[in-house]
Chains A and B, each alone.
Chain A
Amino acid sequence: QVQLVESGGGVVQPGGSLRLSCAASGSSFSTYGMHWVRQAPGKGLEWVAYIRNDGSSQYYVDSVKGRFTLSRDNSKNTLHLQMRSLRAEDTAVYYCVKGKRDYSNYVFEYWGQGTLVTVSS
């Protein structure tokens, strides 16, 4: 079973930047796709971004396109989400999520504990 640990959350002013990281335990990190899913306070779940196992492709929800960049370092078992031009509506708990490699990487198999991002002046 994979363990995912997010870091990098915090308070940032509107228009600011933040970089989230996710450290994955275990081997085989380079064999599965990874996602970020967020949840605004008291709200439902929203998929944010996906990156293929080899980092060759990324997909984003429209609301973050051009502002967020997802990358991965398979040599260090880490995932990064660079967030720029942050807005109040980006305030949420951000979860790092592993795709279910043996069925579909678009199924969210394992979740980290989440890191809170607060965009406020």
Chain B
Amino acid sequence: DIQMTQSPSSLSASVGDRVTIACRAGQRISTYLNWYQQKQGEAPKLLIYGASNLQSGVPSRFIGSGSGTDFTLSISSLQPDDFATYYCQHSYSAPLTFGGGTKVQIK
């Protein structure tokens, strides 16, 4: 199984800040990496697929990058609606696994 490791597990930031979340895969997965946002009490929502492709309807302040084993999700200017938990997930092969999540909180 491919292990996915996210860092940090939580962070505090202010509106307008640039935020970066890291995700590392336990083996090389090319660009088979996706990012999800989950707000409290809601289902997750797809943000980025294929490491850097923005899902339809997602604001352009969300930027995904990376390939191989190391990936990042950046939010260029944090907005009040962005306070949530973010998960990475590989789509290389089954079993599909998620990172442990990064909770973005208000400073």
Contact = CB atoms under 8 A, between A and B. Distances in A.
A44 B43 contact: no
Give me the 8 closest cross-chain CB pairs, A-B, nearest first: A106-B91, A111-B43, A59-B94, A47-B96, A45-B98, A107-B49, A44-B101, A61-B95
A73 to B, nearest CB: 22
B46 A107 contact: yes
A103 B33 CA distance: 12
Interface of A: 35, 37, 44-47, 50, 59-62, 95, 100, 103-104, 106-114
26 contacts: A35-B96, A37-B44, A44-B87, A45-B36, A45-B38, A45-B89, A45-B98, A47-B97, A50-B94, A50-B96, A59-B94, A62-B95, A95-B43, A100-B49, A104-B32, A106-B91, A106-B92, A106-B93, A106-B94, A107-B49, A107-B50, A108-B36, A108-B46, A110-B46, A111-B43, A113-B43
Q: How large is the interface on B (under 10, 10 to 19, 20 to 34, 35 or more residues)?
A: 20 to 34
Q: For the complex, would chain B's binding face be called helix, strand, loop or mixed by DSSP majority?
A: loop
Contacts of A106: 32, 91-94, 96
A103 B45 contact: no
Contacts of B32: 104, 106
B95 A45 contact: no
Contacts of B100: 44
B34 interface: yes
Interface string B72-107: 000000000000000101011111111111000000
A59 B94 CA distance: 7
Contacts of B53: 103
B45 to A, nearest CB: 7
Nearest to B100: A44
Contacts of A108: 34, 36, 44, 46, 89
A47 B95 contact: yes
A110 B44 CA distance: 9
B86 to A, nearest CB: 11
